[in-house]
Structure 1
Amino acid sequence: MKREERRQEIVDLLIASRAVDLDDLASRFAVSKMTIHRDLDDLERAGVLRKVRGGATIDPGTQFESDFRFRELQEADVKRSIAAAAAELVEPGMTVMINDGSMAAILGDVLARKRPLTIITNNAAIIERNKGETGATLITVGGVYSAKFNAYLGIVAEEALSRLRADIAFVSAPAVSGSLAYHMDESVVRSKRAMIASSRHSCLLVNSRRFGHTALHVLAELNEFGTIISDKPLPGETTVELEGGQTSIKIASGGPNDF
């Protein structure tokens, strides 16, 4: 197993159990304890875990779970499948808005094959990867940089978004329950809502693990989105809430289901 693959699996184990044991990791990956020490040291410097005696941990509800650096390492395969499904909604020549978030950052990479495109974003990862790329007109909205979300937020970003128009906006959410999508940060909610308002069509990207959870702020009613993309079918209560509406449901591993 390559070093990066091993470290990805360590993060996945932390997500599942909140703590990992040094001896168990060395045995699982058939490497020395010193190798695991180096892995944990590097991941701690990246801000995605805390080393403790005999292993490492993350604390529920702390900055680790919401920090972009941690989320960027979570469930990469799921994010890629959702991003690939989202890219099917895009045709060359479109103007696309993409919000903050690690899943959205992957979508920014996937859309490379859809060029020429105009990309409007506050996502610093997308900005960094697409600046200077041939065939991509990149519009950055400015604002106050947030290291936590690796994005530009605030009044400047919201005002810029309100004066632009896109064919489609891709918006992600860390929590969905019933008929509502949620987010823990008010400034992020405002920027996402500004993108929804400034686009002809809006698409919600949500990992199935996020269903059944809430956060401090309501982001939107699910029926405000033209399309919802996830990696698994939506929960029954959510499906019932959307029945008879205009929202299209697309499962990344399968085909779309329209109500």
Structure 2
Amino acid sequence: MRREERQQLIVNLLVENKTVDLDDLADRFAVSKMTIHRDLDDLEQAGVLRKIRGGATIDAGTQFESDFRIRERQDHDEKVIVARRALEFVEPGMTVMVNDGSMAAVLGEMLLEKRPLTLITNNSAIIDRLKGENGITLIALGGTYSPKFNAYLGVVTEEALSHLRADLAFISAPAVSGRLAYHMDDDVVRAKRAMISSSTRRVLLVNHKRIGHTALHVLADLQAFDAVITNRTPDPAIREEFDRVGIPLTVAA
């Protein structure tokens, strides 16, 4: 079996199970543990996974978010539920910003239902899907392409956003705790903050599994958003905290 094929099978196992065991992989593929170590090193360097003692995981950590290619294959039904509720905030004729991320990519495709729209995005999946669509004025943000996030980021992206204004911005976050949203990557944080600053209204999209977790960088105070949408009612204590500080939490069902 070629190395590339074996590494793709490891990725497939991670999508299914979220973690893999070093010994199990060596037995499964009939190779040495050192070979599996090298495979995991390659995949970690590519940002696909993070190594842990005795194996690897794609679960997010405070400094790690899994590769877009993995995230787009996870929790699709839940993403559709959140995106469908988010779509209710959009009216034809609006200028809408959508950030990077696999949940945002699902929403981006749904925006075709609300044409005509002007859409501003750095999300490569949305750009590829919506370019050339009638009724969509697509403003594709340039910048440095990040394969890990499948998005354009950096100074060029932020400068472009400083010259634009949207009626509505959809921002996604991989971690929310207390009254703060977090992200692991500083380039992504700056792009999201630029979108927040360049929009009149803002909606935060977050998977319920990510509520109660933190990451390396503070992205924003939740009170910066007009609404926070998740896919399932969080722990009662967390819901109570949202209510206490007056943050509007919408559970898409």
TM-score under structure 2 normalisation?
A: 0.77
Whether the aligned pair in 2 keeps the contact of 1:122 and 1:142 (CA below 8 Å) is yes
Identity among equivalent positions (%) equals 58
Q: 1:150 Cα shift?
A: 0.4
Q: 1:236 Cα shift?
A: 3.8
Whether the aligned pair in 1 keeps the contact of 2:183 and 2:219 (CA below 8 Å) is yes
What residue number does 1:161 align with?
A: 161
What residue number does 1:178 align with?
A: 178
Q: Any stretches of 5+ residues in structure 2 without a counterpart?
A: 1-11, 26-42
Whether the aligned pair in 2 keeps the contact of 1:144 and 1:152 (CA below 8 Å) is yes
What residue number does 1:118 align with?
A: 118
- What whole-Å deviation, never above 9, does each CA across 1:16-37 have from its counterpart, x for those lacking one? x546979xxxxxxxxxxxxxxx
Q: Which amino acid aligns with 2:171?
A: V
Give, in whole Å, the separation in 2 of the partners of 1:198 and 1:49: 33
How many equivalent residue pairs?
220
Task: Please provide the CA RMSD for this pair.
Answer: 2.9
**SS of aligned partner of 2:194:** helix
- Verify: 1:243 aligned to 2:207, yes or no: no
What residue number does 1:187 align with?
A: 187
Q: 1:195 Cα shift?
A: 0.6
- Per the alignment, do residues 243 and 49 of structure 1 end up closer, same or farther by CA in structure 2, a change over 3 Å counting? closer
Give, in whole Å, the separation in 2 of the partners of 1:49 and 1:163: 36
- What whole-Å deviation, never above 9, does each CA across 1:224-251 have from its counterpart, x for those lacking one? 1100000112444443443366643211
Whether the aligned pair in 2 keeps the contact of 1:64 and 1:70 (CA below 8 Å) is no
Give, in whole Å, the separation in 2 of the partners of 1:49 and 1:177: 23
- Per the alignment, do residues 168 and 246 of structure 1 end up closer, same or farther by CA in structure 2, a change over 3 Å counting? farther
Give, in whole Å, the separation in 1 of the partners of 2:95 and 2:229: 19
- What whole-Å deviation, never above 9, does each CA across 1:150-180 have from its counterpart, x for those lacking one? 0000011011111111111000000111111
Give, in whole Å, the separation in 2 of the partners of 1:84 and 1:61: 25
Q: Any stretches of 5+ residues in structure 1 without a counterpart?
A: 1-8, 23-43, 51-55, 254-259
- Verify: 1:14 aligned to 2:17, yes or no: yes
Q: Which amino acid aligns with 1:14?
A: N
- Per the alignment, do residues 243 and 58 of structure 1 end up closer, same or farther by CA in structure 2, a change over 3 Å counting? closer
Q: Which amino acid aligns with 2:84?
A: A
TM-score under structure 1 normalisation?
A: 0.75
Give, in whole Å, the separation in 2 of the partners of 1:71 and 1:133: 25
**SS of aligned partner of 1:129:** helix
Q: 1:216 Cα shift?
A: 0.4
Q: Which amino acid aligns with 2:187?
A: S
Whether the aligned pair in 1 keeps the contact of 2:14 and 2:20 (CA below 8 Å) is no
What residue number does 1:197 align with?
A: 197
Whether the aligned pair in 1 keeps the contact of 2:182 and 2:219 (CA below 8 Å) is yes
What residue number does 2:148 align with?
A: 148
Whether the aligned pair in 2 keeps the contact of 1:12 and 1:75 (CA below 8 Å) is no
Give, in whole Å, the separation in 1 of the partners of 2:215 and 2:186: 11
**SS of aligned partner of 1:156:** helix
Give, in whole Å, the separation in 2 of the partners of 1:19 and 1:136: 46
- Per the alignment, do residues 61 and 90 of structure 1 end up closer, same or farther by CA in structure 2, a change over 3 Å counting? closer
